[in-house]
Chains A and B, each alone.
Chain A
Amino acid sequence: MEDHKTLNSNVYTVSELNSDIRKNLESNYSNIWLEGEVSNFYFHDRKHMYFDLKDEGSKIKVVMFQYYNKDLIFDIKEGLHILINGYVSVYEKRGDYQIVALDARPVGKGSLILAFERLKQELEKKGYFDPAHKKKIPSMPGKIGIATSAGGAVIRDIISVLKRRFNNFHLVLRDVNVQGITSDDEICKAIDDLCEYGVDVIILARGGGSLEDLWAFNTKKIAEKIFDCSIPIISAVGHETDYTISDFVADKRAATPSVAGQVVILDKTAETENLKEMRKKIKNLVKSKIYIFKKEVKFLIDRKIFAQPRTMLDGFGQAADEARIKLVENIKEIIAARMRTVSDYARLIDKKDMLKKVQASRTVIGNINIRINSSIKGCLGSKKSKLRLMLGKLQERNPVVILNRGFALIYKEKADESIKTAAEAEINQKIRIILGDGILKARIFDKIYKKLELGLKNEN
């Protein structure tokens, strides 16, 4: 140390001393739990809480900052008995020492029930109790994890139930305090450890007790841990009539720890029986099925067709023979009947008589022939001369003859459409002029309307 400090070794500044005391207190009282009655409660702007905790003879200042009081599941108020967790510190500006509270819990049945109800409602609203989130408990878990006190009667009860049900069970115990202010932290850690180790199901177990005793299973911390856990959890806390928050959040509630032993694994003897029963049933069912099939097959085998197939044909053969005989008889009868009809007709026809009749008919036909020929000739003669006359007349009107006389036909260039009037024609229109000995292709270059009188010559 330096000289002047050695000289004034006991002289501090106020700030130094307060700072020193603060450091001392904070390291000596870094994590304490304190129970007392609330007084002088002041909720500044509904942010930070300032109050005193007191007992019959003393009191101490407490501050609970907004960050820590915002998640409280109960209201701190004047006269309430509470338990706080925190550290002792000094407000150096004034030299006041105080507790900085990090957590607070109600004390006393009434407050606990209120807090329980409030947390239950809050979690229910968040869906923590929703059956949809509940995982199935395996019927034959390979490893059963359990978080409970290794010294209690609870673990012994569970083990004796397990032994009865499934003698070769595998249990992994994680020893925890199930009572006391830090037990919820311990149980949360145990759940993590069992998950890390790898078990198929976890039992949280504790014997009966007061609401305060069971409080570790009623905190928000444990509710969140159970809800987030990926391994199915059975909550087996207290007596049948005790309900804890963990019971509601867990994948299954066992009314008591021994019930947990029944729920967590199947009864081997019963299951073996059940399996053997099912085996027997399957065997019997198949046996009876085979028996029925056998009977059906035997019935078929015994049928005549299989036993003496030839006898089946015998009947058919006889019928076939009968049918054949009948058929032949029928045909014979029909032929005989036809023969009779033919000879009847034959008798009616006399050969000589027929010849005479044919001769007479031939003469008649010859006469008719001659008559027809002459009448046709006459008819043709007059028709021919009429035709010649008409051809002559036709010749006079033949357009080719007319064209040869100097007349012309005028057609449009392409279409077979004649132009008969000047009005029909257009200037520049291409036309064809049909003459007796050929066709002239021409173009109209002008039109002059003038009605030709009889006897007038062409305008050209």
Chain B
Amino acid sequence: MKIEKMSFEQSIEKLEEIVKELENENISLEESMEKFETGIKLSSNCLKKLNEAEGKIEKLTRSGDGKLIASELDLGKGNK
């Protein structure tokens, strides 16, 4: 599976797996270099994902014609 397409959970799981594999002394140098590269890519990807989401709070309502509308909510004023 491509790293970019992995979910956050899958990436973390894979990272943990890589750490465990690298801790194994029998791994060859080539393999550890490969794992290292994947690991760095995975962690960068996760860090990016943690920050890429746009923070917002929306309120979901139905309009008169039954359409779902999500409008930004200002919570400071305790909007209802």
Are A and B a genuine interacting pair, yes or no? yes
- Which A residues are closer than 8 A to B by beta carbons? 138-140, 142, 145, 150-151, 155-156, 159, 167-175, 193-194, 196-197, 268, 271-272, 275-276, 278-279, 281-283, 285-286, 289-290, 293
List chain A residues, Cβ under 8 A from B78.
Answer: 151, 156
Q: What's the minimum C-beta distance from B79 to chain A, rounded to whole angstroms? A: 7
If A170-B55, A173-B60, A173-B73 are given as contacts, then 15 extra A-B residue pairs at C-beta distance below 8 Å, sorted by A number, are: A139-B9, A150-B80, A159-B75, A168-B54, A168-B55, A169-B53, A170-B54, A172-B59, A196-B68, A197-B68, A272-B50, A276-B47, A278-B39, A281-B19, A289-B27
Supposing A279-B39, A281-B19 touch, asked if A159 and B57 sit within 8 A by C-beta, the answer is yes
The answer, among B35, B43, B68, B79, for a CB contact under 8 Å with A150, is: B79
A151–B80 touching, CB < 8 Å: yes
What would be 8 A-B contacts, judged by CB atoms less than 8 Å apart? A139-B12, A145-B60, A168-B55, A174-B60, A271-B46, A275-B47, A282-B35, A282-B36
B58 contacts A268, CB within 8 Å? no
How far, in Å, is B48 (CB) from chain A's closest CB? 10
> Hey, what's the 0/1 contact readout for B1-42 against A, CB within 8 Å counting as 1?
000000111001001101100110001010011011001100
Contact call B39/A275, Cβ cutoff below 8 A: no
Contact between B50 and A271, CB atoms less than 8 A apart: yes
A173 contact set on B, CB distance < 8 A: 57-60, 73
Residue of B nearest to A150 (CB): B80
With a cutoff of 8 Å between Cβ atoms, the chain A residues found around residue B29 in the complex are 289-290, 293
Min CB–CB distance B9 → chain A (angstroms): 5
Q: Do B60 and A197 touch across chains, with their CB atoms under 8 A apart?
A: yes
Partner of A140, one of B8, B54, B60, B70: B8
Closest to B8 in A: A140
Report A198 CB to chain B, min CB distance, Å.
10
Cα A320 to Cα B26 with chains together (Å): 42
- Are A167 and B55 interface neighbours, CB within 8 A? yes
Contact B16 A278 (CB under 8 A): yes
CA distance A275 to B36 in the complex (A): 14
Please name all residues of chain A whose beta carbon is closer than 8 Å to the beta carbon of B8 when the two chains form the complex.
138-140
Tally of contact residues, B, Cβ under 8 A: 41
Do A268 and B50 touch across chains, with their CB atoms under 8 A apart? yes
How many pairs of residues, A versus B, come closer than 8 Å at their CB atoms? 111
Q: How many Å lie between the Cα of A417 and that of B25 in the bound state?
A: 93
Once the chains bind, are B39 and A282 in contact (CB under 8 Å)?
yes
A293: chain B residues at CB < 8 Å are 29
Residues of B contacting A145 with CB < 8 Å?
A: 60
The SS class assigned to the B binding surface is helix
Inter-chain CA distance A139–B46, complex, in Å, is: 12
Contact present for B58 and A278 (CB under 8 Å): no
> Is there an interface contact between A285 and B22, defined as CB atoms closer than 8 Å?
yes
Closest to B18 in A: A282
Instruction: Count chain A CB atoms within 10 A of each CB in B33, B49, B60, B61 and give the residue with the most.
Output: B60
Query: Cβ of A275 and Cβ of B46 under 8 Å apart?
Result: yes
B24 to chain A, nearest CB (A): 10
Nearest CB on A from B13, distance (A): 10
Residues of A within 8 A of B39 (CB): 278-279, 282
**What residue in chain B is nearest A278 (Cβ atoms)?**
B15
How far is B47's CA from A386's CA once the two chains are assembled, in angstroms? 126
Residues on the A chain within 8 Å of B58, using CB: 170-173
Min CB gap A169→B, angstroms: 6
A173 to B60, CA, bound (A): 6
Q: Contact partner of A285 among B32, B47, B53, B61, CB < 8 A? A: B32
Closest 6 CB pairs of A and B: A168-B55, A285-B22, A282-B39, A140-B8, A286-B36, A151-B80
Contacts of A174 in B (CB 8 A): 59-60
CB-based contact A278/B55 at 8 Å: no
- Docked CA distance A282–B1 (Å): 21
Could you tell me if A170 and B53 are in contact, using CB atoms closer than 8 angstroms? yes
Q: Which residue of B lies closest to A155 (CB)?
A: B75
A419–B23 Cα gap in the complex (Å)?
Answer: 103
In the complex, A156 Cα to B70 Cα: how many Å?
A: 19
> Within 8 Å CB of B15, what residues of A?
275, 278, 282
Chain A residues closer than 8 Å to B35, beta-carbon distance: 282, 286
Max count, chain A CB within 10 A of own CB: residue among B29, B57, B73: B57
The distance from the CB of B68 to the nearest CB of chain A, in whole angstroms, is: 5
Which B residue sits closest to A153, measured CB to CB?
B78
Determine how close the nearest CB of chain A comes to the CB of B63; give it in whole angstroms. 12
The CA-CA distance from A283 to B15 in the complex, in Å, is: 12
Give the shortest distance, in Å, between A201 (CB) and chain B (any CB).
13
- Complex Cα–Cα for A197 and B70 (A): 9
* Residues of chain B lying within 8 A (CB to CB) of residue A159: 57, 75
Tell whether, in the assembled complex, residue A140 and residue B79 are in contact, meaning their CB atoms are under 8 Å apart.
no
